Each structure stands twice: as C-alpha cells, then as structure tokens.
C-alpha cells in the first residue's frame, strides 16, 4: 500500500542575481510522497511555478546519487539538511513531518558568491585544486600495486580523505567560512601515499595560499564542518594540513 502523502510549506530564498536584493517566498505543496528526494520536491515546486507562469527556483544538481557534489543548500539552518553524512539529493521527504514549514537558503560564505536563488559559485574550489599541481608518476605500464608498500591503516586514511566530493557544505557550516576541511582532504590523500610525497611541500604551500586568496576564513575548531560533511571527513585532516604546511614553510619548499 502506498505511503501517506504529506503537505509542507517551503520558505525558500529567491534572488535574481548577486547585485539584487533577495527575499524568502512561501509555497504550500500538497500530496508530497515521503519517498521523494529533497531535489524531487524542488522539482514539484518548480513545476507548480512554471504552470503558474513564474520563474522556477534555480538550484544546483547533477548526478543525484551523492557522488558529484553539485547539490547543496541550507535546510532549516543545516547544510544538506538534518540527516548526517547525507547530500541534499539523498535527503528524503520522510524525514519531515506533515504540515511542517521548511526553510531553504543558499550556502552563504565570502568564498561562494551567490549567482541566483540557491546557486552559488564554487569555482574557488577548482582553483585551489589547480594550485595543488601535479603528482609525479612514471609513464608507461602501471606498476603492480604490491610493489609499492603502503600500510593498510595509512591506505584507509588516504581513501577516507579522498572521499571528499567538494560540495562546500563545510564552508557553509563554518562560522568563519573556512575551507580547511576540503583543502585538508585534498592534501591528505596525497601526503599519506608515496606517490604524492615528491610534491608534498610545494602542494601544501600553494593550496593554502590559494585558499587564502579566495577569501576563505581560518579554522576555529568549531567542528561544524565535520558534522555536515556528507562523506564523514574528520578534522584530523586539518591537523595534518597544518603539519604539512608548517613543515614545508620551515624547510623552504617551493
């Protein structure tokens, strides 16, 4: 038997562009299937707006499988919503009550300038990754993995750090608008493995400088980033980032 449908009210941020004044709009949505994803609910809202001859809400999305990191919004004050280790596209309407009012707004941070409605420009992350440069590898046939000894616990830490999808929830949740969880994940995944060691110092210095140039704040150990990360990255990576940066700065790596 089909589940009971719910009725919700969405209080959603609307803003035509970065230079215009924004506002919240309220819309009542009926017959919402609890098994819908949050983005599917926004699709229903946009269909309603389109049929009424109004501009639909702009929001980022792509794979809708929690892989790409494109989707992102603040739901009731929490980046990606109330469920832990969940992207916005993986959040389902069964986590909300019938008759509930849901407040939806974009990620707000200096490093993420608003484009329209819920869409923000996260290209700063791309520039930080570009600043990290390359990884030295031998060309030709791939080496047998067993010829490069890596302790299992180290490999697991590197894989955990590499799980970051660059969604930006950490920045949106941080009181300082810091991107250090994201940057530390990218630095850790290489610094922990032999393949990333030749450029480790230059990489740490370049990525931190790029992060600062983009206007992101510094970590204040609030741990809000850790709470909203959909992939469960630990702030232990930030400690590793600080060690890598200090080591590189003292040794004069450039």
Give CA separation, 188 vs 90, 235, 250, in Å. Answer: 26, 11, 19
pLDDT of 1 > 50? The answer is no
pLDDT, tens only, 130-175: 999 988 766 667 767 667 788 999 999 999 999 999 999 999 999 9
pLDDT of amino acid 144: 72
Instruction: Quote the number of domains for the chain.
Output: 2
pLDDT of 2 > 70? The answer is no
The neighbouring-strand residues paired with 109 are: 112
Question: What residue spans of 90-223 are helical by DSSP H?
Answer: 123-131, 152-162, 169-173, 180-191, 200-213
pLDDT of amino acid 189: 94
In this structure, are residues 92 and 37 in contact, taking their beta carbons and an 8 Å threshold? yes
Is 80 found in the same domain as 102?
yes
Is 1 a member of any domain? no
In 17-82 the beta strands, taken as DSSP E runs, fall at 23-32, 74-75, 78-79
Give CA separation, 150 vs 88, 145, 193, 194, 241, in Å. Answer: 35, 9, 7, 8, 20
Indicate the DSSP class of residue 3.
P
Is 80 found in the same domain as 96?
yes
Q: pTM for this one?
A: 0.92
pLDDT of 207 > 60? The answer is yes
Please provide residue 196's backbone torsions phi and psi, each rounded to the nearest 5 degrees: -100, 0
Q: At what angle do helices 236-251 and 180-191 cross, to 10 degrees?
A: 70
Is 91 found in the same domain as 162?
no
Is 59 found in the same domain as 176?
no
Is 55 found in the same domain as 108?
yes
Q: Cβ of 130: how many Cβ atoms within 10 Å?
A: 11
pLDDT of 244 > 60? The answer is yes
Residue 199 sits in which domain range? 123-136+150-251
DSSP string, 208-231: HHHHHHTT-B---S--HHHHH-TT
pLDDT of amino acid 136: 78
Is 53 a member of any domain? yes
């Amino acid at each position: 038997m089909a589940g009971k449908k719910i009725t919700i009210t969405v209080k959603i941020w609307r803003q035509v562009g970065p230079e215009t004044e924004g506002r919240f709009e309220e819309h009542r949505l009926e017959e919402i299937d609890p098994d819908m994803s949050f983005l599917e609910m926004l699709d229903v809202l946009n269909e309603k707006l389109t049929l009424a001859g109004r501009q639909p809400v702009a929001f980022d999305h792509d794979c809708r499988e929690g892989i790409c990191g494109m989707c992102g919004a603040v739901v009731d004050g929490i980046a990606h919503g109330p469920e832990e280790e969940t992207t916005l596209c993986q959040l389902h309407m069964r986590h909300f009550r019938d008759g509930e009012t849901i407040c939806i707004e974009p990620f707000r941070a200096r490093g993420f300038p608003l484009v329209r409605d819920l869409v923000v420009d996260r290209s700063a992350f791309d520039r930080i990754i570009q600043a990290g440069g390359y990884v030295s590898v031998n060309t030709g046939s791939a080496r047998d993995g067993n010829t490069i000894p890596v302790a299992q616990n180290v490999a697991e830490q590197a894989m955990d750090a590499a799980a970051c999808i660059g969604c930006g929830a950490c920045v949106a949740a941080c009181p300082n608008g810091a991107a250090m969880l994201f940057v530390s994940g990218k630095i850790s995944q290489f610094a922990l493995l032999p393949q990333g060691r030749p450029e480790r110092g230059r990489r740490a210095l370049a990525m931190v400088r790029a992060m600062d140039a983009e206007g992101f704040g510094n970590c204040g150990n609030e741990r809000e980033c850790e709470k909203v990360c959909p992939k469960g990255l630990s702030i232990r990576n930030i400690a590793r980032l600080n060690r890598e940066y200090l080591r590189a700065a003292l040794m004069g790596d450039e």
